[in-house]
Amino acid sequence: MIRVLIADDEAPARGKLERWVAEQPDMQLAGYAEDGLVAAESIERLHPDVAFLDIQMPGLSGLEVAAQLEGSSAPLIVFVTAFDEHAVKAFELNAVDYLLKPYDKDRLLRALQRVRERLGGDRESRSAAVAMARAQTTSTERLLVPDGERLQLIDSTSIEWLQAEDNYVHVHTAARRYLLRRTLQDLLMQLGEERFVRIHKSAAVNLSAIAALTPLFKGDYEVELRNGRALRLSRRYRDVLFARMGR
């Protein structure tokens, strides 16, 4: 069975889509969401095969939800919108399809057929949709992080440094630490290069959190953060950091 998540803040539109999906013998409703944050939580918790994301939703837009996903594990994405400019953008994201409101049943059936076809192929379309969503939303000013059984949004400016451990990243803020199942490279691509810089193969820092640099040996440095934390700067990443700091 193909598990479907429907995210739309308009109850009539959500109900219509639920009814038509329920008529498909090879599909079942995995869940629904009324805003972007719940949509992101539902994708994380329910692992649907395909997500119908309304582009205009409270909290997080459909594009922002897609940008927060990890490309390798993201569901197929069908964007739903009432605005032509957003529909065109969704198509450019290499989404499975887009539905322009008001759509009829025949249009939905064509979208569902494309879902079936792509589920039988590779995962490139999922990664491409996430990558292009990030490109459309530029750098992420808010990051979704796990908080117990739920997700919460934190400001990217509050992140002091990032620490990689296998396929996980520890996100360090002044208040607490969060653990994301992501690679460091993937997270840095989402957060953007304007604010963060890599200092080691397993660490990156927020430039604004750096207090001082102290030379060590063989080209390595110690990076002292404003919170007193000391991190190692590998000579491999030294020149990039110096350039970013104007040294």
Same domain, 36 and 108: yes
pLDDT digits (tens, 9 = 90+) for 15-24: 999 999 999 9
The CATH number linked to 234 is: 2.40.50.1020
In a domain, 23, yes or no: yes
Which tops the pLDDT comparison, 94 or 114?
114
Using alpha carbons, select from 144, 132, 139, 159 the residue that is nearest to residue 38: 144
Q: What is the mean pLDDT of residues 55-64?
A: 88
Same domain, 120 and 161: no
Domain that holds residue 74: 2-137
pLDDT digits (tens, 9 = 90+) for 195-217: 899 999 999 999 999 999 999 88
Same domain, 133 and 165: no
Q: What is the mean pLDDT of residues 52-81?
A: 87
Domain count of the fold of the chain: 2
pTM of the model as a whole: 0.78
pLDDT at 95 exceeding the cut of 70: no
Q: What is the reported pLDDT for 90? A: 66
In a domain, 147, yes or no: no
In a domain, 143, yes or no: no
The CATH number linked to 99 is: 3.40.50.2300
Same domain, 99 and 20: yes
Same domain, 31 and 123: yes
Beta strands in the chain (DSSP E): 2-7, 27-33, 50-54, 76-81, 97-100, 142-147, 150-155, 159-165, 168-173, 177-180, 196-200, 203-206, 210-215, 221-225, 230-233
Same domain, 132 and 171: no
Same domain, 115 and 171: no
Mean per-residue pLDDT of the chain: 87
What are 67's two structure tokens? 């940008």
